[in-house]
A = this chain, B = another copy of it.
Amino acid sequence: MTVQQKKLVEANLTVGFVAKRSGVKVSTLHFYETKGLIRSWRNNGNQRRYKPDVLRRVAVIKAAQAMGITLEEIKQTLATLPEQRTPTKEDWSALSKNWQAQLDERIAFMQRLRERVDGCIGCGCLSMTKCPIYNKDDYLGEEQSGAVLLNNPQKELNNG
């Protein structure tokens, strides 16, 4: 039995092992911990030890990031997981439902954007007074209070 397999069985993982397994750097795990996204305890020599479910947490963090969700939002959603026991299938399922809705909104937004790209950027109405692209109230107006996408650039579109 290798050391890593042993670690796995004993169910307290080192930071290096978690890093390798989850595909993130050790520094990222430290960083996530300072941000309250993951937790660890220390051994006698002050080294971090993790429960195996940290791997799922990190994978979920990465998946959520790929959806465009910020670490702060992810943290808040992860905070809904139970603290006392290891999260169950149902716990994780609830999380995913939460993000599914956001993802659906984002996809819908992108699709509306796509239509706008068709109709607007490439349109023939180069007159500033006629083209809706110059009319901020029209342009992407429905998104005003909707999904937050990509650092919210659409909020800027509606300023002033």
Contact = CB atoms under 8 A, between A and B. Distances in A.
Interface string A136-160: 1001100000000110011011111
A20 B159 CA distance: 9
A110 to B, nearest CB: 5
B66 A150 contact: yes
Interface of A: 8, 19-24, 52-53, 55-56, 59-60, 62-63, 65-68, 88-89, 92-97, 99-100, 103-104, 106-107, 110-111, 113-114, 116-118, 120-124, 126, 128, 131, 133-134, 136, 139-140, 149-150, 153-154, 156-160
Given A24-B160, A59-B133, 8 more contacts: A56-B126, A60-B121, A63-B116, A67-B117, A93-B121, A96-B117, A100-B118, A103-B110
